[in-house]
Structure 1
Amino acid sequence: MNLPAFAIVGMGGFARTHLSYVRRAEEAGLVRHVAQVAIPADQERYAAEVGDLKARSVEVYASLREMLAAARDRIDVTCIPTGIPLHRPMAVAALEAGTHVLVEKPAAGCIQDIDAMLRARDASGRLCAVGYQHLYRPDTQRIKAWVCEGRLGKLRRIRSFGCWPRGRAYYTRNGWAGRLAVEDAWALDSPHNNALAHAVNAMCYLSCARPGESAVPASIQAELYRANPIESADTAAFRATTDEGVEVFFAVSHCTDQTIQPITLIEGEQGRVEWAYQGDLKVRWSDGSEQTFEKPDGSPRVAEDVAEVLLGRRASLSCPLDLARAQTLCICGTFESSAIHDLPPDLRSEDPATGVIAVRGMTEAVLQAHEKAALFSELGLPWAKRGEQISLKDYRYFPTFRRDVGRKD
C-alpha cells in the first residue's frame, strides 16, 4: 500500500505545527507530504519556506479550491490548521473532494458548524480527525482507561484552570483573534475556545466512562469577562454537568499577572488524579496509597495516528471529530449563559512593552475558583456577575437563548 499523501493548508501560525507533525511522520516512514496551500501573500512572506517545499517536490497552490481541483486524486489527508471561522467551510470542501481531514482545534466556532462537518464526513465516507494534542498522548489514555475500567470509582468532578497572560501580539496576529464572529461565521475566540480549548476537550473526554466517547454536557452555568479591547471574552469560568452526572469545572484568564500551567484534578469515589499540563500524574487511591507517573517522552503523534489508521495499523483515530463536539457544546453554552462583562478599569495595568493587561487579583481569583470549584461570583468578588443556568439537552443551534450575543452589559 502506498504511504498516505498529506497536504497542508497555510504557512504561518499552526500550519507550522502541522508541518512539524507531517515531517515527523514522514521521517518515520508513515506519510508523504505532497501539497501545500500558500496564498499569494504568504508565498512572498515565506519565500524561503516555499522554496524549500518545492525543493522537496511538494506542490504549492494559491488556494484550497485550486489545490482540490488540481490534486484531490493525489491527496489522502488535508490538514486544516487555519482560523476558527474557516474550519467548517474548508473541512467540508476537503471531505466533499474525497480526502480525509485533520482539522486544528477547536474543531469549530459553534455547534451547527461541527454538526455540518459531521454530516459531510458521514456522507463522504472519509475520516475527520481533530488536533487536540492531549488525546494523542499516553498519559491521557492511561487516565481514560482508569475511568472506563472503574478504577477511580464513580466520578464526581473534574476541574482545571489556566493562567495564561496574552498581550498585543496575540490579539493582533490575525483578523479573528478576540472576535465573536467574522462576517457570518462564528469564532467565539476566547481562552476556553482557543488557547486552552484542549483542556476543556480533555475534561469532557475523561469525564465519560464509555470507551472512545466524550461526555455530553447536559447543563452549564458560566461567567464571561474581558479587560482587553476585544469583542469576546478573555476570562471565563463555567460549571457543567454531564449526562453521567459528573461536574466539569474550568476557570481561565488571559489577564493574570503570572503564567501558571493548568493542573487538572479528576475526583472519583476510589481515587483522585492530579494531572499536570505536561503529563505528569499523581494518583491517591482511597486506601491511602499513592502512585506517580512521569510525563511522556516526545511530542504528540498526531499525523502518525491518522496515518496508522489509514495503513490499517490502528483500529480507530485517537481524536475523531465526534470527540470534539462536547467542547463546542460547552463553549456555546457559556456564551448563552453569560453576557461578556467588562472588568473594572481601575484594576487593570498594562505592560507597555507587550501590551499584556493584568487585572489585579485575577491570578488569585482563578486559583481560588479552581480550588473551590466555585464561579467568581460565588467567591464574593465585587466585579463578578453570575450567569444563567442553561440546559443543553438537544441543543443544536447557536445562539438559542441569548440572541444578542456580544452586546455590552
Structure 2
Amino acid sequence: MSVRTAGAPVTTEEGTAGAAPVRVALVGTRGFGAHHLVNLDRLVGEGLAELVGVVDVAEPPAELAAIHHPTLGGLLAALGEERRPEVVIIATPIDTHVPLALEALAAGSHVYLEKPPVPALTDLGMLAEAADAAHRTIQVGFQARGGAGIDELREIVRAATLGKVTAVRAYGAWVRDRAYYHRSRWAGRRRLDGRRVADGVATNPLAHSVHAALAIAGLRRIEDVAGVTTELRRAHDIEADDTTFLRVAPAGDGPPVLAALTTVAPDSSDPWVEVLAEKGRVRLWYTADRSERVDAAGTVTRSEYARTDLVQNLLAHVRDRSVALISPLEDSGAFSAVLEAIQSVPDPLPIEAGVTWEGEGEAAHPVVDDIEAVLLRSLDEGRPFSELDGDGAVPWARADAVSSWTPPSA
C-alpha cells in the first residue's frame, strides 16, 4: 500500500492559493482503518488533507514507519503545538472510542469517530460536553448517511408526500464466517475485560441500516425514543447477537422503526431501508445508492443518488464552519438509545433448530433455515421472530427471547 502524506494546497478555479490541506492523524490502521488509509491517499492527492501521523499498537507498513506512533499521546507530543492534527480519525475497537476521542478533543482536534460512536448511552453526553468545551466537532462514521437517498426518504416522511407513513423498515441479510468473528478479541462480544463492546449485528456490521432508518423516521435524539422491543438471537458461537429484531417506538406521533437483521443468511444481499405509507412505498438500497418508489397506482420510479464522503465533509467543515456536518454526534442519540437497549436486555439466546453449517474451517458459516423469509415476515407483521405464529411459526421460537426497554428519562 502506497500512502501519500502531503499534497499540494487546494487552488481555486482562478489558480490563486486556496485553503491549506487539513492536518489529519489516523488512529487504527487495520480493519476499517485500512479503508481510511486508501481514502486519505485520495484526499492528500487532491490537496485536501495532509497525513501527519498514524497510531497503532502493531508495526505499520514500511511506508508509514516514519509517521507511526504506538499511542495518540506519543503522536501529539512528537508533533508539538504547531503540527498537531486538526482532525483525528478514530477507527479502533468500540470500547476505546471514548477515551481516544476525549484525548483528541483535549488536544484541540476535531474528531471523526467510527460507528458505533459510544458503547453506552451515558458516554454520549460526556463526549458532547467535551466537544462543546473544546469548541470542536465530532463526525460519526455512519457512511450510509452520506448518500442523498436518505435525505429524500426523510423528506417523504416529514412532508407526508405519500400520505401518512405507517412504518420505516430496515432489512439486512449478510453472511459472516468464523474468520469474521475470530478477527480480534472483541469480535462478536458484548463485553470484554469488564467493558462493553457491543459487537452485535445491529450495532456494528448492519448498524448503518438501523441508523439510516432512525434518521429517515426523524429520530435523532435520545428523547425521540419512547421504547425499544428486541429479540436478540445467535447461531454463531459468539456472545453477541447475529440475528436481531428491533421495534423502536417514537416519543412523538411519527412512524415506528422496524429492523430485521442477520449475518447467518445463505448469501449476502444489498441491505435496504423502506418507507411504508398510505399511498405507496419507497425502498432505498443504501449501499448501492439506488431506490424504487411505488405509488398508489402501481407506478414505479427508480432513482440513483450521489454520495458525499464523510471525512471530506468534515475537512470542509473544519475550513469553513458554515459547511454543515452530515453525521454529527448529536444525530446519534436515537441510535445510542437503541444500542443501550440491546446492551441492557438479557444476552442473546441461541438458535437451536434449523441451523446448517456450510464451508470448512475458518470459512465455515451457519445458515438458518428460511431466515430471509422470517426476517421479511417480522417486518410485515411488526412483531419479533418468536411472536410469529400459525403456519409461519419459526421452529426456534422462544418467548423469553423478547425484551422491552425504556429510556431512563421516559
TM-score, normalising length from structure 1? Answer: 0.86
Local SS of the residue matching 1:192: coil
Q: Give the aligned partner of residue 320 of structure 1.
A: 328
Shift of 1:136: 1.2
> Among residues 312, 325, 336, which one is paired with 2:344 in the alignment?
336
> Among residues 72, 79, 87, which one is paired with 1:77 in the alignment?
87
The reply on whether 1:378 has 2:387 as its aligned counterpart is: yes
Q: Is the alpha carbon distance of 1:152 and 1:120 closer, same or farther for their aligned partners in structure 2, counting shifts above 3 Å?
A: farther
The reply on whether 1:368 has 2:368 as its aligned counterpart is: no
Question: Which amino acid letter does the alignment assign opposite residue 53 of structure 2?
Answer: A
Q: Give the aligned partner of residue 14 of structure 2.
A: none
> Among residues 173, 195, 198, which one is paired with 1:188 in the alignment?
198
> Among residues 28, 35, 57, which one is paired with 1:17 in the alignment?
35
2:230 touches 2:246 (CA, 8 Å); kept in 1?
yes
- What is the CA–CA distance in structure 2 between the aligned matches of 1:295 and 1:392, rounded to whole Å? 35
Shift of 1:373: 3.1
- Stretches of 4+ moved more than 6 A in 1? 212-215
Q: Give the aligned partner of residue 404 of structure 1.
A: none
Q: Is the alpha carbon distance of 1:271 and 1:26 closer, same or farther for their aligned partners in structure 2, counting shifts above 3 Å?
A: farther
User: More displaced, 330-339 or 318-327?
Assistant: 330-339
1:213 touches 1:323 (CA, 8 Å); kept in 2?
yes
1:152 touches 1:270 (CA, 8 Å); kept in 2?
yes
- What is the CA–CA distance in structure 2 between the aligned matches of 1:274 and 1:214, rounded to whole Å? 26
Higher relative contact order (CA closer than 8 Å, sequence separation 6+):
1
TM-score, normalising length from structure 2? Answer: 0.86
- What is the CA–CA distance in structure 2 between the aligned matches of 1:116 and 1:72, rounded to whole Å? 26
Q: Is the alpha carbon distance of 1:259 and 1:304 closer, same or farther for their aligned partners in structure 2, counting shifts above 3 Å?
A: same
Q: Give the aligned partner of residue 107 of structure 2.
A: 97
Matched-pair identity in %: 27
Question: Which amino acid letter does the alignment assign opposite residue 355 of structure 1?
Answer: A
- What is the CA–CA distance in structure 2 between the aligned matches of 1:265 and 1:27, rounded to whole Å? 37
Q: Give the aligned partner of residue 68 of structure 2.
A: 60
User: More displaced, 366-375 or 113-122?
Assistant: 366-375
> Among residues 28, 41, 53, which one is paired with 1:35 in the alignment?
53
Consecutive unaligned residues of structure 1, counting only runs of 5 or more, are 396-409
> Among residues 367, 390, 396, which one is paired with 2:405 in the alignment?
390
Q: Is the alpha carbon distance of 1:311 and 1:8 closer, same or farther for their aligned partners in structure 2, counting shifts above 3 Å?
A: same
Q: Is the alpha carbon distance of 1:250 and 1:131 closer, same or farther for their aligned partners in structure 2, counting shifts above 3 Å?
A: same
Aligned residues: 381
Question: Which amino acid letter does the alignment assign opposite residue 65 of structure 1?
Answer: G
- What is the CA–CA distance in structure 1 between the aligned matches of 2:173 and 2:102, rounded to whole Å? 34
- What is the CA–CA distance in structure 2 between the aligned matches of 1:279 and 1:203, rounded to whole Å? 14
Q: Is the alpha carbon distance of 1:346 and 1:310 closer, same or farther for their aligned partners in structure 2, counting shifts above 3 Å?
A: closer
- What is the CA–CA distance in structure 2 between the aligned matches of 1:351 and 1:391, rounded to whole Å? 41
> Among residues 99, 117, 120, which one is paired with 2:130 in the alignment?
120
The reply on whether 1:218 has 2:226 as its aligned counterpart is: yes
- What is the CA–CA distance in structure 2 between the aligned matches of 1:193 and 1:70, rounded to whole Å? 35
Shift of 1:322: 1.0
Question: Which amino acid letter does the alignment assign opposite residue 274 of structure 1?
Answer: R
1:207 touches 1:214 (CA, 8 Å); kept in 2?
no
Question: Which amino acid letter does the alignment assign opposite residue 3 of structure 1?
Answer: P
Q: Is the alpha carbon distance of 1:346 and 1:249 closer, same or farther for their aligned partners in structure 2, counting shifts above 3 Å?
A: closer
User: More displaced, 357-366 or 78-87?
Assistant: 357-366
- What is the CA–CA distance in structure 2 between the aligned matches of 1:33 and 1:47, rounded to whole Å? 15
Q: Give the aligned partner of residue 176 of structure 2.
A: 166
Q: Is the alpha carbon distance of 1:331 and 1:165 closer, same or farther for their aligned partners in structure 2, counting shifts above 3 Å?
A: same
- What is the CA–CA distance in structure 2 between the aligned matches of 1:214 and 1:146, rounded to whole Å? 22
Consecutive unaligned residues of structure 2, counting only runs of 5 or more, are 1-18
User: More displaced, 189-198 or 335-344?
Assistant: 335-344
- What is the CA–CA distance in structure 2 between the aligned matches of 1:3 and 1:145, rounded to whole Å? 34
Q: Spell out, residue by residue over 1:126-176, the C-alpha distance to the aligned partner (whole angstroms, 9 max, x if none).
A: 010011001112222222333344434443211111111111110111110
CA-based RMSD: 2.3
Q: Spell out, residue by residue over 1:298-346, the C-alpha distance to the aligned partner (whole angstroms, 9 max, x if none).
A: x641211001111217531000011122112112213434541111166
